[in-house]
Amino acid sequence: MKTLKIAVQKSGRLKDDSLKLLKDIGISIDNGKEQLKARATNFPIEVFYLRNGDIPQYLADGVVDVAIIGSNVLAEKGNSIKSELALGFSRCRVSVAVPKTTPYSSIKDLNGKKIATSYPNTVQAFLDEQGVQADIHIINGSVEIAPNIGLADAIVDIVSTGGTLFKNNLVEKEVILESEAVLAVSPKIQSKQIQILERIKFRVASVLKGRTSKYVLLNAPNEKLEQIISILPGMKSPTVLPLAKSGWSSVHSVIDQHQFWDIIDDLKVNGAEGILICPIEKMVL
């Protein structure tokens, strides 16, 4: 039977989140310590544990069929690689940062300056777009130290919380791109593997939808039922069931977690009581 070869990061948080996603979509991976390749026990896939920066080349060469990878790495090294699905985790940004004491009003201030980065292609494309000429120094790891040792006037690196910049007396000034984990696909993927990929995408979409949705149950007075239903943006329409108490109904629906508190406030104003919110593990549409 044909298998789909999927690459994940060899170590780090992206690896942990990737394996959790595979587990959430029902795929069991038997991976021993320091194992570089593992086969799923209940699904036709093989997982390859690779260095993050090497994954785009493996995709381009068709060594692996798909990968879970940061879109920042794909932008830097994988111009021919298609991103199939955004996964909503491992969010960060690629940003320009300068020492706190450096005057800075715009990216034009870096004209003729030295920039340290491990994303030279991304930085060069951004500078070209902005009409800025700068000297790019390629550094792999510990980019933040470059201004402190006189190697560069500014850096471009990934930023999550900004804590590392703060520790090195740097200030974030420009966001070049926003990044998150994506499901990337090799241009050489075969039709049999595409069929397996479609099954995975369906499962992933169900998990991701569940993560961003909440199941809400509430009691509503019948005279306010129409107003309350109009507040709830359900998948099609809320479920309404009569309660034993005369003049009241139980309403069940799904709401987006990003709208959660605004919707709850409106429900309470319109007479909803006994509001119960439950997490959703998966939501199949």
Q: Place 32 in a pLDDT band, splitting at 50, 70 and 90.
A: low
Instruction: For the chain, give the mean pLDDT.
Output: 92
* Topology of the domain comprising 4-90+180-210: D-Maltodextrin-Binding Protein; domain 2 (3.40.190)
Residues in a beta bridge with 158: 94
Q: Which residue has the higher pLDDT, 255 or 285?
A: 255
Tell me how far apart the alpha carbons of residues 90 and 180 are, in angstroms, rounded to a whole number.
5
Instruction: Please give the class, per CATH, of domain 213-279.
Output: alpha beta
pLDDT tens-digit map of 154-175? 999 999 988 999 999 999 999 9
Is residue 116 a contact partner of residue 96, using CB atoms and an 8 Å limit?
A: no
Q: How far is residue 207 CA from its own chain's centroid?
A: 13
**Residues ≥6 apart with Cβ < 8 Å to 150:** none
Tell me how far apart the alpha carbons of residues 201 and 205 are, in angstroms, rounded to a whole number.
6
Instruction: Please give the class, per CATH, of domain 92-179.
Output: alpha beta
**Residues ≥6 apart with Cβ < 8 Å to 51:** 9, 10
Tokens of 133: 């000429």
Q: Place 260 in a pLDDT band, splitting at 50, 70 and 90.
A: confident
Amino acid making up residue 83: S
Tell me how far apart the alpha carbons of residues 92 and 71 are, in angstroms, rounded to a whole number.
10
Stated pTM of the model: 0.84
Among residues 241, 250, 240, the alpha carbon closest in space to that of 272 is found at 250
pLDDT tens-digit map of 103-135? 999 999 999 999 999 999 999 999 999 999 999
Q: Place 29 in a pLDDT band, splitting at 50, 70 and 90.
A: confident
**Residues ≥6 apart with Cβ < 8 Å to 170:** 97, 98, 99, 100, 144, 147, 155
Percent of the chain with pLDDT over 70: 97
**Residues ≥6 apart with Cβ < 8 Å to 217:** 250, 251, 252, 274, 275, 276, 278
Hey, do 4-90+180-210 and 92-179 end up sharing a CATH topology, with the first three levels equal?
Answer: yes
Mean pLDDT of all residues in 252-279:
90
pLDDT tens-digit map of 177-189? 999 999 999 999 9
Q: Structural domain boundaries of the chain?
A: 4-90+180-210, 92-179, 213-279
Question: Per-residue pLDDT for 258 more than 90?
Answer: no
